[in-house]
Amino acid sequence: MKIQTAADLMEQFIEDGIYYEKKYVETKLKDNKKALKNILIASDMKRHEYKNLNMVAKFIPRMIYEWDEKGVIEYLIDYLVPEVYIDCLTIDHKKIASIKNWNEMSKPFRQKASNHIKLNFNTTGKQLLKIDLEDHQTKDEQKLLVEIKVLQKKNQFLVDDFHMLKEKMVQCNQLKEKRKLPCKYGSVSLVENKPTYDLHRLLDVFGESLFLDYGHVNKQQLNEFVQKGFIHKKEVEAFRTLKDIRLDFVVMSIESEQRMLEGMNRRNKYIQNNCS
């Protein structure tokens, strides 16, 4: 029995119509959410609950900040020991690329590289996957929600299928060797993810200046430091400037919303209980 290559798997996924269905459901879901958002945007309410459908639609404000990254890093270095603050930092790949011969210099500090799958489509592939909804019917709130509920469930199955497909593709020996395999509808590539580093070793060898010039702050970890009391919220806020407030629109089941809130509460309690 012939072992399927990554290219064979790509062809089968397209010919079975699964990839088209995935793109169709994604597009339809996006359009329906946009239509529902346009209906609800004028309301004074930011959260809309539909108990008959077990659904919630809500607007969530997201603050968009511009950060003084170097200032934050200097602050962390001044107030925390290296063993702690290093967990809040990463390397800015765009900035670090300006160092001559960095790829060669950084080899001893790089962790094992990971890869991801990229599908590339030729004209035939693009034509097969072209989405045309052609649905000009005006739908009310309830109808849109019913459709969104069905599409979200279907989309999750399709996303999971696609994830499993890519996991199989990554294991293809031919793809590992050649990095790119052609097929009838284009090609499939194995692309190396951006490198990750042993930050503790980088700090030992290059010192704090490397992070001051080429570092990036993990804002989630920074927030955890604030919650643990390692650093002060007001002092951290001095390094950011509010640029915009984005209003995100989300639709989910009531249970999903509850699980999300419970998860956030558990996480906050865990952080508070593990303060040192």
pLDDT, residue 135, reads 65
pLDDT, residue 264, reads 76
What does the pLDDT look like over 127-141, one tens digit per residue?
A: 999 998 766 567 899
C-alpha angle 269/49/47, rounded to 5°?
Answer: 65
Please name the residue that has the structure tokens 């080429």: 214
| pLDDT of 241 above 90 | yes
Distance CA 107, CA 201 (A): 12
- Kindly state the tokens that stand for 251: 């639709």
Length of the chain: 276
Q: What is the DSSP letter of 238?
A: T
Structural contact between residues 25 and 156, judged by C-beta atoms closer than 8 angstroms: no
Give the predicted TM-score (pTM) of the model: 0.85
What does the pLDDT look like over 42-66, one tens digit per residue?
A: 899 999 999 999 999 999 999 999 9
Across the chain, where does the E strand assignment appear?
Answer: 47-50, 55-67, 89-91, 115-121, 180-183, 186-192, 215-217, 240-253
C-alpha angle 20/125/134, rounded to 5°?
Answer: 45
- Using 50, 70 and 90 to split pLDDT, how confident is the model at 92? very high
- Kindly state the tokens that stand for 236: 């951290």
